[in-house]
Structure 1
Amino acid sequence: MNLREFWTQRTIVGLVLGQFLSLLITSTGFSSSELARKGINAPTSQSFLNYVLLALVYGSILLHRRKPLKAKWYYYVLLGLIDVEANFLVVKAYQYTSITSVMLLDCWTIPCVIVLTWLFLKTKYTLRKLTGVVICVAGLVLVIFSDAHAEDRSSGSNPIKGDLLVIAGATLYGVTNVSEEYFVKSADRTELMALLGFFGAIVSACQIAIIERTELKSIHWSAGAAFPFVGFSLAMFLFYSFVPVLLKISGSAMLNLSLLTSDMWAVLIRIFAYHEKVDWMYFTAFAGVAVGIIIYSGGDKKVDSSVDEVADGSTKQRSKRLDEEAGSNNQGR
């Protein structure tokens, strides 16, 4: 394989878009960390504006097209619920652990995605790819070990609790990533974003009314508090808007592998913006994750093709049902 065959337009777009999404995730982490430092603890409220923007922007497009939904609406209700809780858990973790830990532990989504795509999308993974995942998980273990034994640095009020919240949220992210990959390939990107935003906003509003109403009233709003709050929502809106594009191009596994570079940006933020000391285990963990990515990316080319086959299969089945219904109607006439 020569360089021209390797550096295809699809590859370049996937890499560039992946790094753009990685920077967006880093900015959301920075915003959440800033809000946590200011004592603002309203994780669901942070995501609410993002869901509203998704519903307004993509909902308007969906209504203008006036086409029937390609997937059942209650699937989007469940997806919205899982997505809201995933964001809640990860943003909540910033109250207890460091931004670097959140960014590193967030890559727990990768093994979750691999298991889910293998079970439900019938994606096949080589031994080399699975070895890469194991090495990535080993890096996660180093992060938890570092947080458990580091008492001389600013790592949060309860690092272990924060780490567990991130892992739980990352698991739910795996569910949403795989679901979105399926919907974007078998249904429609605009439909996905519109209904995810609509139902996500409803779930968020209910959760805010129940558990965050008092917290919002106690916040002393200022430019310093509003800027990271709005910045988080805008970054999340852009992230959600472009994730389906990368999912369609490269799949959910590539998405989460691309997001691992956000760990590097998180370390730089922690060193230069917060002037904090970073434990040496973080660098060891990041090196392990990097090695795992290299090993993973060296697999065969047919790994993600089964996802398209599943999506194409469901589309063909839906078309077949429509044809059969049309045929029966013609016979009735």
Structure 2
Amino acid sequence: MVSFKEFWTKKTLLGLGLGQFLSLLITSTGFSSSELARKGINAPTSQSFFNYVLLAIVYGSLMLYRRQPLKAKWYYYLILGLIDVEGNFLVVKAYQYTSLTSVMLLDCWTIPCVMFLTWIFLKTKYRYKKITGVVVCVAGLVTVIFSDVHAGDRGSGSSPRKGDALVIAGATLYAVSNVSEEFLVKKADRIELMAFLGLFGGIISAVQISILERKELQSIHWSAGAALPFFGYALAMFLFYSFVPILLKTNGATMLNLSLLTSDMWAVLIRIGAYHEKVCKM
């Protein structure tokens, strides 16, 4: 057993504190996406686009100011940008079909995926206690899917099973993105990573918007009620992306995704308090 003194280290406390800050940011993005879905706004790529633009402007400017050579191949960032954009697209799209609670809980699928990928590619070792914790998370995932299928009358969305499938697919892409970011932030540079992720993510998002969401954006009647969650999502995601590499470098991708599990409880409170919905006992 780890003693209290061993636990009470600067690295662990920084990881816990930063992890909970990121968890609150994720909760706010989930709340914003759910609000937009309730207003009938279906533009998942557009929501993420402004985040990538902010990343490209802020970190691109810092990168140009430093004038340092690239520490990683540019096409690594292109592939990462594509994976990240589609992961965000799938998860945000899921809010059109299933509940806020289900999306937040099903994100835990990222954890076993991250552990498997870090074990294979980054040679990270895990003990039985951590593996047991992941088994508990996956058991919860199965329970949520079961409750969505058999409790469709609880206001969970128009097509819970479709929404659940989208979240799981998006969570898998998140795992690939997280592990890739951990590798790049340790081998390359945080500023370079954020600048190129913003650049390529913005370009890919713009192309996808022009193909899939142009008509949707033109049909939206913009008001304060629609604009606030839309840009609130972008700002929260920008802060999330800015601080994630710090946690990845100090504590790793598994610590990041375990920290984000607390957002599930915040999601339940939002659903009960803000939406006045019943939460399935499961």
- Bin the TM-score by the shorter chain: over 0.9
Q: How does 1:1-333 map to 2 (within 5 A)?
A: 3-281=4-282
2:198 maps to a residue whose letter is G
1:165 maps to a residue whose letter is L
Deviation string for 1:50-89 (max 9, x for gaps)? 0000000000000011111000000000000000000000
Q: Partners in 2 of 1:232 and 1:120 — Cα distance?
A: 32
2:218 maps to a residue whose letter is K
TM-score w.r.t. the length of structure 2 is: 0.98
1:163 maps to a residue whose letter is D
Structure 1: stretches of 5+ with no match in the other structure: 282-333
Q: Partners in 1 of 2:132 and 2:17 — Cα distance?
A: 26
Task: Give me the identity figure in percent.
Answer: 78
SS of the residue corresponding to residue 261 of structure 1 reads helix
SS of the residue corresponding to residue 134 of structure 1 reads helix
CA apart distance, 1:2: 5.0
2:245 maps to a residue whose letter is P
Structure 2: stretches of 5+ with no match in the other structure: none
CA apart distance, 1:15: 0.5
TM-score w.r.t. the length of structure 1 is: 0.83
Q: Partners in 2 of 1:62 and 1:89 — Cα distance?
A: 30
Q: Partners in 1 of 2:6 and 2:152 — Cα distance?
A: 50
CA apart distance, 1:5: 3.4
Q: Partners in 2 of 1:32 and 1:114 — Cα distance?
A: 28
Q: Partners in 2 of 1:174 and 1:209 — Cα distance?
A: 27
CA apart distance, 1:118: 1.0
CA apart distance, 1:8: 1.2
Aligned residues: 281
**Aligned-residue RMSD, C-alpha:** 0.8
Q: Partners in 2 of 1:7 and 1:225 — Cα distance?
A: 44
Deviation string for 1:133-171 (max 9, x for gaps)? 112101100000000000321100000000000000000
Q: Partners in 2 of 1:221 and 1:56 — Cα distance?
A: 25
Deviation string for 1:102-158 (max 9, x for gaps)? 000011000000111111111122233222211210110000000000032110000
Larger of the two Rg values belongs to structure: 1
Q: Partners in 1 of 2:238 and 2:212 — Cα distance?
A: 24
Q: Partners in 2 of 1:2 and 1:114 — Cα distance?
A: 24
1:117 maps to a residue whose letter is T
Q: Partners in 2 of 1:28 and 1:221 — Cα distance?
A: 19
Q: Partners in 2 of 1:151 and 1:5 — Cα distance?
A: 47
CA apart distance, 1:6: 2.0
Rate the CA distance shift 1:68–1:165 in 2: closer, same or farther, 3 A: same
Q: Partners in 1 of 2:259 and 2:86 — Cα distance?
A: 23
